Amino acid sequence: MNRASPEPGRWLMVFALGYLALLVDGADVMMYGLTLTRIKSEFGLTNVEAGALGSLTLVGMAVGGIIGGWASDALGRVRVVVWALALFSLGAGLLGLTHTFAQFALVRFISSLGIGCMVLVSTLVAEYVPTERRSLILGILQTGVSAGYIVVISLANWILPLYGWRMLFYVATIPVVLALAIHWFVPEPPGWRASVAMRQGAPRVRRTWRENRYYLIFSDREARKMFILWALASVFALSGFYGLNNWLPTYLEKELHVRFGSMASYMIGTYVVAFVGKIVAGWVGDLWSRRGVYVLGCIGAALFLPVIVFLHTRENIVWLMLFFGFLYGVPLGTMGAFMSESFATRIRGTAVGGSYNVGRFCSGAAPVVIGYIATQFSFGVSFLLVGAVFFLSGICAFFIPDRLYDTSAPEPGGPGPATPTRNAHADQGAAQALAPR
């Protein structure tokens, strides 16, 4: 079998189902921002209370993602993605049955445990995709999130005026069918199966705390450094992404006085252009550098937000939003490959899920902080803070090397020859640190 291209043809099906899973993920995240104004009005919420619901969602996503990352290494990538997708799809429907702040908050927290595991879709696809096209394919994969934004904005533009916000959440239960399709048609990746076979073939000894995957991460200097840097980069990046997704519709409606129908068109255009940004980022990431693309994307988004805040007019806001959409998509276009290649197979799910969702947990304060600053000053001032955190994410990523591991190759020390990576020295050191004790 060609190590550089595991199970030829199989990855296309995995990619297609993974794309749909991220589409659903993006739709769910954007749905709250689009319905926020109506939920605030019906439940009588303040800006801070509405922001708290967004923050609670991020905390739930962080908890679910950390647990799901560990479970994906122990139980399987596919199994975790299936259960997570089913949980947040059914949870979205239950939100339509809530009638108080407390009920909404409880159901949202539980369903967001599943949303937090969706970062593992990129890890799952990365372990199938050929090495030479990985960044481009994962960049295209990330357009699934933008596609989800566009789908739900289009649905909201039709459903909200006629049927109200509850119907939008009822419709969101349909993707539970996708969970069944993934369960039936996607096997666990070859690299994960090889890692499990290696552990099962090792002499049976009493398990100790030294075999815990977080111990393996933090006892190895390279893995520990990557985990900490990705956690910090995720804190800043996700504070920016979720802060924008949560409050951008309200900003356009309330401060820029854009009608809902026009606002929906602006946002669809923004995310369509983000499609292009993600694909271009993936392509350039393969040709040049995952790190370089991520860093430039974050810094570009950071520098352009003040342009929107201070220089927008009714005539140019459309073009400003479109250009920002391109910049917004660039870091996301290369993040999946860049992050997955930072960790060895044995710890990849735990490390990616853990570091990314530490970021989610800490970024849970972002919607509340933005809501508070908007109350005291304006949403424009809040978005200047968002620009600052994008900049800090780029600075953190600058210190993360490119292509430490080939995610389609067997784990060093496992059965079969490993495909060389760009950093063979790092692989050898990690193989020693991660060898069974």
Report d(CA 405, CA 418) in Å as an integer: 10
141-153, pLDDT tens digit by residue? 988 887 898 899 8
42 is a domain residue: yes
317 is a domain residue: yes
> What's the mean pLDDT in 224-247?
90
Asked if 240 and 335 touch (Cβ cutoff 8 Å), the reply is no
207 is a domain residue: no
pLDDT, residue 235, reads 93
Q: Cα-flanking dihedrals φ and ψ of residue 86, to 5°?
A: -65, -40
302 is a domain residue: yes
Question: Quick one: which of 242, 232, 235, 237 has its CA closest to 399?
Answer: 232
1 is a domain residue: no
Task: Determine the structural domain holding residue 137 and report its residue range.
Answer: 10-197+212-434
CATH number, domain containing residue 312: 1.20.1250.20
> Letter for the amino acid at 316?
N
DSSP tag of 405:
S
Q: Is the pTM of this model over 0.75?
A: no
202 is a domain residue: no
4 is a domain residue: no
175 is a domain residue: yes
Radius of gyration, CA atoms only, the chain: 21
238-297, pLDDT tens digit by residue? 898 878 877 777 777 777 777 766 777 777 888 888 889 989 999 999 899 999 999 999
Report d(CA 87, CA 196) in Å as an integer: 26
> What's the mean pLDDT in 329-337?
89
What is the domain count for the chain? Answer: 1
